[in-house]
Amino acid sequence: KNQVEQSPQSLIILEGKNCTLQCNYTVSPFSNLRWYKQDTGRGPVSLTIMTFSENTKSNGRYTATLDADTKQSSLHITASQLSDSASYICVVSSDPSGGSYIPTFGRGTSLIVHP
């Protein structure tokens, strides 16, 4: 069964500090991996998308890495801001050549940035 596991479940950091969120997956065959930011009461917003051949992708202060061999990804947030407080969700999609497209979502990491 395709699974996406995220850690930690929650994280509290001080404003200005860096942090790294982890995502491990067992989705196969792999198509792409996405990181989303979801503010409370809002829909997820895409941060990065990585395919098999990409091992790093940046979007401002967010940098995602992908190791397709170990099936691990990380999201690094630099110089955190109060507005970074949100849930960060890792989503892995299967290769659609075998059938329909179904993404598998992790449960998310809840990040709280304190002043």
Name which of 15 and 105 has its Cβ closer to another protein: 105
CB 37, min distance to another protein, A: 11
Helices marked H in 1-115 — which ranges?
A: none
Name which of 18 and 83 has its Cβ closer to another protein: 83
Helix (H, G, I), strand (E, B) or coil at 42: coil
Residues that bind another protein (CB under 8 A): 4, 31-32, 34, 36, 41-46, 49, 51, 89, 91, 93, 96, 100-108
CB 57, min distance to another protein, A: 12
Tokens coding 43: 């829909």
Burial of 111 from C-beta contacts in 10 A (0-12 / 13-18 / 19+): buried
Name which of 38 and 72 has its Cβ closer to another protein: 38
CB 16, min distance to another protein, A: 28
Q: Which helix (H) or strand (E) holds 84?
A: none
Tokens coding 53: 């051949």
